[in-house]
């Protein structure tokens, strides 16, 4: 965790394609994105990244990496990462 502000914490996020989508416990075939926030993983259908991002390698996996605040839109299954507290 990087910086605390109000009720939200700015974090480092890793976004990766969900190769196991549709399997038991791995979301439906439409849950194509894995969003990692520290040790927490979210399976979502859509991702919007509204902050600077870059590629980053973790072991053998490539990710899109960014710092920001996470907002989850559960109606559309969208993870939105923004630069200011939602």
Query: Going by C-beta distance under 8 Å and a sequence separation of 6 or more, which residues neighbour residue 6?
Result: 85
CA distance linking residue 28 with residue 26, whole number of Å: 7
Cα-atom radius of gyration of the chain, to the nearest Å? 13
* Residue-by-residue pLDDT tens, the chain, 86 positions: 344 445 667 899 999 999 999 999 999 999 999 999 988 999 999 999 999 999 999 899 999 999 999 999 999 999 999 999 87
Q: What is the pLDDT of residue 6?
A: 53
Q: What is the pLDDT of residue 4?
A: 43
Q: What is the pLDDT of residue 45?
A: 98
Instruction: For residue 24, give Cα distances in angstroms to 5, 7, 30, 77.
Output: 37, 33, 13, 18
Q: What is the pLDDT of residue 1?
A: 39
pTM: 0.86
């Amino acid at each position: 965790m990087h910086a605390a502000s109000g009720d939200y914490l700015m974090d480092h996020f890793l976004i990766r394609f969900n190769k196991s989508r549709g399997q038991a416990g791995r979301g439906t075939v439409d849950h194509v994105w894995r969003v990692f926030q520290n040790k927490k993983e979210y399976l979502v259908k859509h991702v919007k990244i509204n902050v600077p991002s870059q590629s980053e390698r973790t072991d053998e996996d490539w990710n899109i990496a960014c710092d920001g605040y996470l907002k989850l839109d559960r109606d559309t299954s969208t993870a939105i990462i923004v630069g200011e507290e939602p």
